[in-house]
Structure 1
Amino acid sequence: MIPRPELLTDLSGSFELASGATVSGDLLDAVRLALPGLDLRPGDSGEIDVRRDRGLGEEAYRLTVGSRGVEIVAGGRAGAFYAAQSLHQLLPHASYRFSTGASWPVPGVRIDDAPRFAWRGLHLDVARHFFPKREILRLIDLMAMHKLNRLHLHLVDDQGWRVESRAYPLLHEVSSHRPRTMTTFHREPVAYDEVPHGGYYTLDDLAEIGAYARARCVTIVPEIDVPGHASAILAAYPALGATGEPCDVLDRWGISPAILSPLPPTVEFLTTVFDELIGALGETPYVHIGGDEVVLDHWAGSAEISAYRDSLGLASVNDLQAWFLRRLADALAERGARAVVWDEAFVSGGLREDTLVMPWRGMGVGRRAAAAGHDVVATPVFPLYFDYAESASADEPMAIGEAITVADVAAFDAAPDSWTDEERARVVGVQAQLWTERVPDARTVDYRLWPRACALAEVAWAGSSSDGFTGRLDEHLGRLDAIGVEYRPLAGPHPWQRRRPHRPGVVNVSNVMARIDAMTHDAESTRPSL
């Protein structure tokens, strides 16, 4: 079973669960939704009985299977949903295929279970390459199967804006597409595919995605990355930029100097966009506002922005960036949402105390954020950036670097014993990132995410993967086969998954981590006091 339950005890006896069986009691809708292929029917009494025990946590459950049927006791709707996911994994792989009139044996078992972390996330970059709504809904289903519960959508970057805006329609009319895409990495000459790329989610799409996710106990975390990574926004509304000069949606990768102005019209623009996002998604407890890889040169060179900074009593452009992000976080708090940021925003200082920090540059900066009183979601490049290849083999398709393996993910400890109890308590979750410069389609998403996301689910739910993970993963891959997930085989890619030869000049993880350590050290040395 993946993720591994907290306590599993084998019992004598078994039960035959047939398609069309009845389910009764509280929270039965969650159980039916988690087992769609069984066509479960509601009834006054049934083969599956579900009831609530408010003494358990919202996501906690107890599942008991015996000769008389299945009993689920859950703390809340999420617990009942996860209990049904565990029940499904007790059935044969064929139960994951559509069938009618089928019947499957369920072994006698008792499972007592609850998650280690509240935030169990996946991040998908839909800005560099767009993935239509159907792929988002499918990913939500796969996350739910693995008890992952946060889908972080990176909705804007230099290369594209991915959300309809009725208040600022040029965002989806102009900023959602680019005329071509860069196809070379780490070498010259630069080449492009000369193929237009684009797409965006309508507000109705977002409403559907939000509702679909909530039904499956997944929270959508939208990201509007500011003030940097702004080329796409400024292609539509250049007046919002620090220079006011026209800009194009970027057709290449890397960090751009394009930056939004911190002046009041930009804050008004962004709060309006937040209102549209929150209104469409519905219940939106978190909004990510980025704050990463910001080039502040245009702020420093603007007399108007410098005068505004002086009027606020701020000493530097770094202080101004901290003020700008704090202002956005305050606006989100007024709307009932918590701000989430990448770790550069923490290093800049001045965050609201309730802002969540994602330390992508390593858990050293994550520990400092935790010590400063911020909740932390562990997101370090190594081992949680899934745009890295899974081996150094020449057979691997295009990747940013090499190699982050399933074993690397499974061994990750988000809250090490070397941290203080207070610091460990601030780690609220774990999240893997899939950036898509080198992920052009849904088949590649499958290849990059799975089975590494299985190891992520194990670490996020159970806290470690020391108990027979490799053997359980071998068994679990049969479920992915039944569903139709085009995962990377553990022995290496299928011939048709070797899309492009491995290119010279690709970076390796150790070199990247050395550079990130240097970046973090340099940033810390210039960080204002909190």
Structure 2
Amino acid sequence: MKKTLLRCIFLMFVIGVSCSIALAQNNDARYPVIPYPQHLMPGNGSFVITAKTVIITPDGKFANEALQLNELLAKSLGQKLATGQKAVKAAITLKYDAAITASEGYSLTITPQQVVLAAKDPAGMFRAVETIRQLLPADIEISTHHTTLSLPAVSIQDQPVYAWRGMHLDVSRHFFSVSYLKKFIDLLALYKMNKLHLHLTDDQGWRIEIKKYPKLTEQGAWRTFNNQDSACMKQAVDNPDMAIDPSHIIHRDSKTLYGGFYTQEEMKSVVAYATARHIDIIPEIDMPGHMMAAINAYPFLTCNGENSWGTLFTKPICPCNETTFKFAQNVFSEIMEIFPSKYIHLGGDEVDRSDWGKSEACKQLMAKEGIKDLAGLQSYFINRMEKYFNAHGRKMIGWDEVLEGGVSSTAMIMYWRTWVPNAPIKAAKNGNQVIMVPGNPLYFDGKYDKNSASNIYHFNPVPKGLTAEQAKLIVGAQAAIWTEYVPSEKRADYRFMPRMTALAELLWTNDVAKYDSYLNRNIAQFNRLDNLNVNYRMPDLDDMIDSKVFVKSDTVIAKAPLQSMTVRYTNDGTMPGPASPVLNNYIVNKPQVLNIAAFAKNGRRGDVYTVNYKQQDYTQAVSADTKDGLKVYYYPGDFKGTTKIPEAKSDKVYTVKGITVPDEVKAPSFGLRYNGYIDVPQQGIYTFYLTCDDAGVLKIDNQTTVDNDGMHAPVEKSGQAAMKKGLHPFELNFVEGGGGYTLKLQYSLNGSAHQDVPANWFKN
């Protein structure tokens, strides 16, 4: 009797869990909203929109938001809906609600009888409109006429966790059209982002018209092709997205030049477009460093009239001449006329100060002002410019280097240097508001792989070491797209979509428990992105191991990530194309290399996965007297790859229990060699996943198992080893090149989930 009761209880539990999972998946399909609302209560039935539906604004407010909604619906209905202020049946009502305190907060109630959007501020009402947009069919984005549109019944109360939810776009290294900026803004609006940080100037190009200094764009907006352009052209042979946009190439004085700039009127139109969508554009004019384009046009800006590259960075403008401040203030005076934003970004990063130390004018200024060092001289420039901004009602933002010589507590700090982890803590303790932009995981020009969305979604913007009050100074985060190797608008799309959706949900909803739900809802975004003509990165193929082994044979199975996609392959060294064979239970029984990719219906190709198949018998285990842990040999120094680590054993040797970097390793750049054995509990083909920043190579049984060499941002590579139960020689070489490291080793066996290699498997 007792066993029967237990079985019944267990069965009820299983049924309950299954029903909960099914219900959650149904809700994800019915309400595929990103970012997910703070509170969502499903309803029964739907509200049907027809050409007779009326949009009501009873308080006479929210005219812009009502217009945005009406234009969205008109794309599919073929006409705008009637509007009014008096209540009618079966209407869509946009109403003022003083009880909603958050400026971007809103409520949304959809029943079969009516739709009510409520907010206190226009920004909140616009966010409600974007939720409506995502609840409508994906073809709402194109002019496909419907006689009716259906909205699922629901009750939503919503507001963001973080006030700053942004994207950064570098238009200096490669230039983008006005129409693309507006497309970019539309995508930010769709996912409830509210800041667009435009990096308008740098060494490679000055992109905004300044009427006081016309040569900034006459000369500074154009260049002959540089080494970054050449690298892009080389990649364009296999990837057309990497081609330089011909619309930004001109011929002048027998030279081929690349570039472009925005007139002030053009940029004002972009600002107005963003303002209507409640997105704040923050301009960045980067100084005192990264000013080569300006100095070429106006050499008086440097301390000695020279303009060249130093050891790492270009020569900066001179903070010791009044002509420099006159120039900077004149430039920012015009910038403020174009951009009404409360925020102005001054840059302040990567400054080679060596020429300042040689300048007599700087020596005199430092003596006069009591400035002790060159970092203090940079702070003098930064603080003086901040006072100018403040006097004009603006707030200054600087990259985290502005902390080095001291900065006022009123400046905002944008943290990016992951190798200086205490920078945001130092800023918050100084009373500065902080925007988190760490290179890992928020530099979207970095490699995009299957772990990118997860790394972003699980990122905590608040660093450890802050009190609750100090944590409130972390106002949000943004992702950055630096464009040295992003030469086209299509490539920019690929770099930020769809991983921006993970950032949008992190900053708005901030609930890691919703990650699986996010993955389900994200699938629903691809049709919408297709209709918006976004060249997004297509979803990853599962189980694409870089180096696979087989004993007798292996069957290659690759499930298309979306029903609309087809997986194709080649085995002759060429890249797969739309006419390549479909991958369907392909049998591997001899060593070979497969190139595999998914294709959309329009023939667009996703990432190409190169899988190297090697035949291997199960390697024999070895006998040895061992102790727990691995030996780690430490080599301080700058090594460009694992092959540069010295062969001799280092004098500094540590023992670690797992794949961790010893606490004693303090050098900014170093090499590590882990040596010992891995003790596997059963015979099988083990898959290892090595994530590292910078270089890493894993060897098992003296054979390269995972090759993740090269100096790069965090990226995962994978490989397999066929092993019999017991001890097997193990070696892992790792290089950190400076700038913060990542090192993680996981495994799976027979298709199991990835997990960290247990520490008790390692012996020495």
TM over 0.5: yes
Distance 1:418 1:295, change over 3 A: closer
| Code of the aligned partner of 1:81 | F
Aligned residue in 2 for 1:43:
84
TM-score by length of 1: 0.88
| 1:220 shift after superposition | 0.4
Could you tell me how far apart the structure 2 residues matched to 1:316 and 1:14 are? 68
Aligned residue in 2 for 1:133:
178
- Larger proportion of helix: 1
Match of 2:279 among 218, 222, 243: 218
Aligned residue in 2 for 1:32:
67
Q: Note if contact 2:452-2:499 (Cα within 8 Å) is conserved in structure 1.
A: yes
Aligned residue in 1 for 2:357:
300
Aligned residue in 1 for 2:444:
386
- 5 Å-filtered alignment, 1:447-458, equals 447-458=494-505
| 1:290 shift after superposition | 0.6
**Is 1:485–2:485 an aligned residue pair?**
no
**Is 1:236–2:283 an aligned residue pair?**
no
Aligned residue in 1 for 2:265:
204
| 1:54 shift after superposition | 2.5
| Code of the aligned partner of 1:485 | V
| 1:255 shift after superposition | 4.2
Could you tell me how far apart the structure 1 residues matched to 2:113 and 2:311 are? 60
Could you tell me how far apart the structure 2 residues matched to 1:28 and 1:466 are? 37
- 5 Å-filtered alignment, 1:105-116, equals 105-116=150-161
Match of 1:364 among 399, 405, 422: 422
Aligned residue in 2 for 1:515:
738
Q: CA RMSD in A?
A: 2.7
| Code of the aligned partner of 2:143 | F
Could you tell me how far apart the structure 1 residues matched to 2:735 and 2:487 are? 23
- Larger proportion of strand: 2
Looking at CA atoms only, which structure, 1 or 2, has the larger radius of gyration?
2
Match of 1:13 among 45, 65, 80: 45
Q: Note if contact 1:20-1:101 (Cα within 8 Å) is conserved in structure 2.
A: no
- 5 Å-filtered alignment, 1:55-70, equals 55-56=99-100, 57-70=102-115
Aligned residue in 1 for 2:380:
323
Q: How many residues align?
A: 496
Distance 1:142 1:334, change over 3 A: same
Q: Secondary structure of 1:196's match?
A: strand
* 1:264-323 superposed Cα distances (whole Å, 9 cap, x missing partner): 211111111111011022x22101001111110010111122212222221111101001
Distance 1:513 1:330, change over 3 A: farther
Q: Note if contact 1:359-1:380 (Cα within 8 Å) is conserved in structure 2.
A: yes
Q: Which stretch has the larger CA shift, 424-433 or 465-474?
A: 465-474
- 5 Å-filtered alignment, 1:278-357, equals 278-281=336-339, 283-349=340-406, 351-357=407-413
Could you tell me how far apart the structure 1 residues matched to 2:38 and 2:332 are? 39
**Is 1:466–2:517 an aligned residue pair?**
no
Q: Secondary structure of 2:318's match?
A: coil
Q: Which has the higher contact order (CA 8 A, sep 6+)?
A: 1
Q: Which stretch has the larger CA shift, 39-48 or 319-328?
A: 39-48
Could you tell me how far apart the structure 2 residues matched to 1:513 and 1:148 are? 34
Q: Note if contact 1:455-1:465 (Cα within 8 Å) is conserved in structure 2.
A: no
Aligned residue in 1 for 2:96:
52
* 1:321-341 superposed Cα distances (whole Å, 9 cap, x missing partner): 001001111111111110001
Match of 1:71 among 92, 110, 116: 116
Q: Secondary structure of 1:419's match?
A: coil
Could you tell me how far apart the structure 2 residues matched to 1:59 and 1:357 are? 23
Distance 1:499 1:474, change over 3 A: closer
> Mind listing any 5+ residue stretches in structure 2 that lack a counterpart?
1-32, 75-80, 233-242, 245-254, 542-596, 611-707, 716-733, 742-764
Aligned residue in 2 for 1:414:
461
Identity across matched positions, percent: 32
Could you tell me how far apart the structure 2 residues matched to 1:364 and 1:42 are? 54
- 5 Å-filtered alignment, 1:166-181, equals 166-181=211-226
Could you tell me how far apart the structure 1 residues matched to 2:111 and 2:408 are? 51
> Mind listing any 5+ residue stretches in structure 1 that lack a counterpart?
187-191, 392-402, 519-530
Aligned residue in 2 for 1:2:
34
Could you tell me how far apart the structure 2 residues matched to 1:137 and 1:65 are? 30
Q: Note if contact 2:537-2:606 (Cα within 8 Å) is conserved in structure 1.
A: no
| 1:19 shift after superposition | 5.1
